A and B are shown apart, each in its own frame.
Chain A
Amino acid sequence: MSLQDHIDGITVDRDEGGLLDIDREKAVALAVFLVPGLTLFGIFSVAPIVYSVFGSFFSWDTFTLESFVGLDNWIRSLTDQLIIHWPNMQELRYPMGALTHNLLWVVIHVPASTFLGLGLALLFADLKGRRFLRSMIFVGFTVPPIVIGLVLMFIYDPRAGLFNEVLRVLGQEQWVRNWTQSPQVAIYALIAGGIWVHTGFSMLLYSSALSAIDPSLLESAKVDGAGAWRRFRDIIWPLVRPVTAVVVIMGIIWVMRMFDIVYAAGGAAGGPNHAYSVLGIEVYRAAFRPPIDYGMAMVVALVQLFIVAPLALYIARMN
């Protein structure tokens, strides 16, 4: 077949609507590849969310849908003192409600683990043995959070615990206590543990962001006369800003979904008298511990989702 014949053949194809055929084929192929993924996404993500939204407007008898009750579940849940405890909040006394506790995690844990991670990444950037140090810090993040919770129990144990032992060595006997069971301080003890774990994650991200900065930029700033602080403020900080966004948002998502550490330390009640309960704990208890309140479980889970979803969406759409 000569080249001319070949070209003629192509022209004929096109005349017969070849382009449309190709598009249809492409569409079929796309669909074939998309269907398995979309099915799973639908069954395990979309359907439960839709079902929860739907179910949150009905009354439940254990796991059986009963009658439409409008916003009843929502009002009942959001005014429940287990979720938001206004009187205690005014007196700064724990428990303050699971949602408040979650937000406290956000306010303390997220900035602390972010800045600690950045600080360690900067510290390790030019250090000998930085790989070893980095691995040691990051190992914490690879441990399942439920194990972290148990480790924290040991660390804070009044007699055998490392933390109290350190206090004794430092001569601060008056501070020795069972940290995870003292309502006014327990949540901070757990947040400290959470920071320890999550710092490894932010340090790792910052480390790679720092190594991506062209060293000649920092040298140029040095030549321009900038000291260490100015180099950090004017060059490093703006250049790692995308990573900061990821670290902060991932941190918020991580603490909003917090369950394991709290469960390990305080059980399904979330500590003595729910002292450091979080939303995840409340969902679990409402759904699986008698008296079962499925409507409330759905509402609280949706509250969690409404806080986390926009953040996740923001990260997913970042360049």
Chain B
Amino acid sequence: MVAITLENVSKYFGETVANYQVNLQVTDGEFLVILGPSGCGKTTALRLIAGLEQPSEGAIYFDDDRVDGRSPSARNIAMVFQNYALYPHMTVAENIGYPLKVRGFSPDERDEKVEDVTSLLHIEDQVEKKPGALSGGQRQRVALARAIVREPTVFLLDEPLSNLDAKLRQEMRSELKRLQNELEITTVYVTHNQEEAMSMSDRVAVMNQGTVQQVAPPQELYDRPRTAWVAQFIGSPPMNLFQGTRRNGSIDLGEAGTVDLSGVLEAKEAVVETSERDDVQSTALLASDTQGTVSLGIRPENLTLASTPPPSGNVIEGRVDTVEPMGEYILVNVSVNDQIVNAKVSDRTVSRGDRVYLTFDTNDAYVYDTNGDLVA
């Protein structure tokens, strides 16, 4: 088992920048998920760790060993590809045994290990079949078996569940998590599915446009998204961001109302201290004579809907656009300043066209500056 370190790693494909100055630490035995939209460079990052691509700049370490420049086979990694990449002309047993065969294990050893791993993944009765005769879920298991059979030090997975149906995906998710817990292999898992990322990972690295935006445990990622982009990427539906002007210690949201900035800042004081930079900026924000554009972020689940103006607190005014009953909650889309705002509510008391008042706890509000960085 090893720890993985990416140090200022960049990867260029001609003019295209796939990764730019990526810094990432994966600790020994950790389950790290790289999460991002398609084209954000997450798969390239994984392929750099695998050795299928070599970085244009920067260094990659496994523990203290610098591994960039080494071939994939010299890194003792195993990888599961999005389309499983099973060898179509070999049986399941031959597929799983192939890494062992290449590494010169005797046929007896091979059979023994293949038997162990197939029983671990419940595919003992499939070993004589060719991959073409298997279902998606079974292929997935074979690919996993082939990856873990030779006990690699690093386990890399590239969107392994994206070809499965919803039910199977759920099943394989917990199975993968169980396997990783049992084997304690350092794992890097790439996905664009935030549900997968949140449910399986120890930590999530959120990537966008080739750079790492934030690395944090799932809950922290949800509770304290460091950039407006992460805030809007994590959560379903995404966080609402209101554009406003900071003036005299409050945020002016135009016709929709005004939010008292000091309240938000005070509520956040304890947490904001985690970073010096934030502290300085939030103090600057409080200075009443400064002005500027900021974004106020509130998650749909933290908004409360009222049809009469509440007596006190922060209020944002809008008009109901659509109401979507989702079963476990009702999603109300409210039009505020020509922007659609999502609110998750528990009962249906409003209908289209109603004038409504959105209230929230200052604890649940985030303020991002013009660069999209979290300031409070």
Residues of A at the B interface (CB closer than 8 Å) are 214, 216-217, 219-227, 230, 234-235, 238-239
Query: With A and B bound together, what is the CA distance between A239 and B132 in angstroms?
Result: 14
Per-position contact with A for B65-82: 1 when CB-CB < 8 Å, else 0? Answer: 000000111000111011
B52 touches A217 (CB 8 A): no
The SS class assigned to the A binding surface is helix
Taking CB atoms, residues of chain B closer than 8 Å to A214 are 83, 85
* Best-surrounded residue of B51, B83, B87 (most CB of chain A within 10 A): B87
Taking CB atoms, residues of chain A closer than 8 Å to B277 are none
Can you sample 14 A-B contacts with CB below 8 Å?
A216-B81, A216-B82, A219-B79, A220-B79, A220-B85, A223-B50, A223-B77, A224-B99, A225-B72, A225-B102, A226-B73, A230-B102, A234-B87, A239-B89
Query: With A and B bound together, what is the CA distance between A219 and B52 in angstroms?
Result: 7
Number of A-B contacts (CB under 8 A): 55
* A237 to chain B: closest residue by CB: B89
Shortest distance in angstroms between B237's beta carbon and chain A's nearest beta carbon?
A: 34
Known interface pairs A219-B72, A226-B98; 18 further A-B residue pairs with C-beta atoms within 8 A, sorted by A's residue number? A216-B85, A217-B85, A217-B88, A219-B79, A220-B87, A222-B71, A222-B72, A223-B50, A223-B51, A223-B72, A223-B73, A223-B77, A225-B72, A225-B73, A234-B98, A238-B89, A239-B88, A239-B89
Taking CB atoms, residues of chain A closer than 8 Å to B72 are 219, 222-223, 225
B103 lies within 8 A of chain A by Cβ: yes
Taking CB atoms, residues of chain B closer than 8 Å to A216 are 81-83, 85
* Best-surrounded residue of A227, A230, A234, A238 (most CB of chain B within 10 A): A234
Contact of B52 among A222, A226, A230, A238 (CB under 8 A): A222
Contact of B81 among A219, A225, A234, A239 (CB under 8 A): A219
A223 touches B78 (CB 8 A): yes
Taking CB atoms, residues of chain A closer than 8 Å to B85 are 214, 216-217, 219-220
**With known contacts A220-B81, A239-B88, A225–B52 Cβ distance under 8 A:** no
Shortest distance in angstroms between B291's beta carbon and chain A's nearest beta carbon?
A: 54
Query: With A and B bound together, what is the CA distance between A226 and B72 in angstroms?
Result: 10
Query: With A and B bound together, what is the CA distance between A222 and B72 in angstroms?
Result: 6
Taking CB atoms, residues of chain B closer than 8 Å to A217 are 85, 87-88
Shortest distance in angstroms between A86's beta carbon and chain B's nearest beta carbon?
A: 44
Shortest distance in angstroms between B130's beta carbon and chain A's nearest beta carbon?
A: 12
* A230 to chain B: closest residue by CB: B102
* A239 to chain B: closest residue by CB: B89
Query: With A and B bound together, what is the CA distance between A223 and B103 in angstroms?
Result: 11
Q: Which residues of B, 290-333, contact A by the 8 Å Cβ criterion? A: none
Q: Which 9 residue pairs spanning A and B have beta carbons closest together?
A: A225-B73, A220-B85, A224-B99, A216-B85, A225-B102, A238-B89, A223-B72, A216-B81, A223-B79
Per-position contact with A for B99-127: 1 when CB-CB < 8 Å, else 0? Answer: 10011000000000000000000000000
Query: With A and B bound together, what is the CA distance between A151 and B146 in angstroms?
Result: 54
Shortest distance in angstroms between B77's beta carbon and chain A's nearest beta carbon?
A: 6
